């Protein structure tokens, strides 16, 4: 199967042949391509076979071991399971206009059961890889996801509109909830091929910094898109907002949020967007995105030149490009 990424405006590499992913790409609520499985396959192909282990090279197809293909599917399963779990609704925050309570309760049950089913399948496949280090890596990534989602959903006070965090804390939380799975999956793919600790670390660094850039790129979209006439709603804990709060001060930021709230606590996102764009939050977030992108590209230098490495570099270029 030939994998293309036309939705992001670039071709990973023409006719790059890699093992098929069962269900193709999975889309989240923002219609972003979920490329975790693809990245695991590409970095496996870029690294190639290890000179330390020649006994199972007959299991390679198009330069990728069967265990690495299984790992790519496991990574997608875990990510999809957590996307399903994120869809659980807080019943206590529902209003009468949101729909019947019984429907929401049923939906929550289905989300829990569906996500758990996917996780159970992922864990079964993970055990079948018969590699304790890989099991440890992916298990710790699942733990990181749980911890990261907990931080996302927790609030310092009941009436708090936004978290009182700096960009360093934001990066720690984003690593847990968005980067850890891909970073550790890339490292695990190198472990399955018996690559050196140095190559494993470079794969980890690529996965970490590329996914950090991807998250920053996603956070920046409401502030850099000029073609859309509609103002996109955005999280008050997104990277530009966190930078804006650091430069402006917590009290002044809360005041701006209060001023943007209309009747019925309806947020005027256009007013907030203009306030953030008037400061240094957007440019600082763009700079941080590009710094993470450069670190991802630096990690790729440890891999030999190939179409797969070029495809991985193209992914970085796509998430660090702003029109």
- Residue 50: per-residue pLDDT: 79
- Residue 137: per-residue pLDDT: 97
Q: Tokens for 215?
A: 């998250």
Confidence of residue 11 (pLDDT cuts 50, 70, 90): very low
- Mutual angle of helices 36-47 and 197-224, in 10-degree steps: 140
- Residue 180: per-residue pLDDT: 97
Q: For residue 81, give every residue at least 6 positions away whose Cβ sits within 8 Å of its Cβ, in sequence order, or none.
A: 114, 115, 116, 118, 119, 122
How much is the mean pLDDT over the chain?
Answer: 83
**How far is it, in rounded angstroms, from Cα 265 to Cα 260?**
9
pTM for the whole structure: 0.84
pLDDT per position as a tens digit, 18-38:
333 333 333 444 444 468 999
Do the Cβ atoms of 281 and 236 come closer than 8 Å?
no
**How far is it, in rounded angstroms, from Cα 42 to Cα 134?**
18
pLDDT per position as a tens digit, 132-151:
999 999 999 999 999 998 88
pLDDT per position as a tens digit, 173-223:
999 999 999 999 999 999 999 999 999 999 999 999 999 999 999 999 999
Give CATH for domain 21-319: 1.10.600.10
Confidence of residue 65 (pLDDT cuts 50, 70, 90): very high
Most confident of 9-18, 101-110, 228-237: 101-110
Q: Which of 156, 166, 172 is nearest to 249 (CA)?
A: 166
Residue 46, CB-side half-sphere exposure with 13 Å CA sphere = 30
Do the Cβ atoms of 260 and 163 come closer than 8 Å?
no
The C-alpha torsion from 249 through 175 and 35 to 43, rounded to 10°, is 130
Query: How would you class 197 by CB atoms within 10 Å of its CB: exposed for 0-12, middle for 13-18, buried for 19 or more?
Result: exposed
């Amino acid at each position: 199967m030939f994998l293309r990424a036309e939705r992001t405006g670039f071709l990973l590499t023409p006719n790059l042949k890699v093992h098929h992913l069962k269900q193709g790409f999975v889309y989240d609520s923002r219609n972003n391509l979920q490329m975790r499985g693809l990245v695991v396959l590409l970095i496996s192909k870029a690294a190639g076979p290890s000179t330390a282990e020649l006994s199972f090279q007959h299991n390679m197809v198009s330069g990728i071991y069967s265990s690495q293909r299984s790992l790519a599917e496991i990574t997608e399963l875990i990510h999809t399971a957590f996307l399903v779990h994120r869809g659980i609704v807080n019943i206590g925050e529902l209003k009468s206009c949101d729909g019947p309570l019984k429907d929401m309760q049923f939906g929550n049950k289905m989300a829990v059961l569906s996500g758990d089913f996917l996780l159970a399948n992922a864990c079964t496949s993970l055990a079948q890889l018969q590699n304790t280090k890989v099991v440890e890596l992916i298990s710790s990534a699942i733990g990181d996801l749980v911890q990261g989602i907990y931080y996302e959903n927790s609030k310092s006070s009941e009436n708090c509109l936004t978290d009182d965090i700096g960009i360093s804390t934001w990066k720690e939380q984003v690593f847990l909830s968005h980067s850890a799975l891909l970073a550790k999956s890339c490292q695990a793919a190198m472990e399955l091929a018996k690559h050196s600790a140095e190559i494993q670390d470079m794969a980890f660094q690529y996965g970490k910094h590329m996914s950090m850039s991807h998250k920053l790129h996603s956070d920046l979209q409401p502030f850099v898109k000029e073609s859309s006439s509609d103002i996109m709603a955005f999280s008050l804990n997104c990277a530009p907002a966190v930078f804006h709060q650091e430069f402006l001060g917590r009290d002044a930021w809360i005041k701006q949020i209060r001023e943007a709230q209309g009747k019925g606590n309806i947020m005027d996102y256009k007013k907030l967007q203009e306030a953030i764009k008037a400061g240094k939050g957007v440019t600082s977030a763009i700079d941080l995105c590009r710094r993470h992108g450069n670190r991802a590209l630096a990690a790729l230098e440890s891999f030999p030149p190939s179409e797969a490495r070029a495809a991985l570099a193209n992914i970085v270029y796509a998430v660090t490009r702003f029109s």
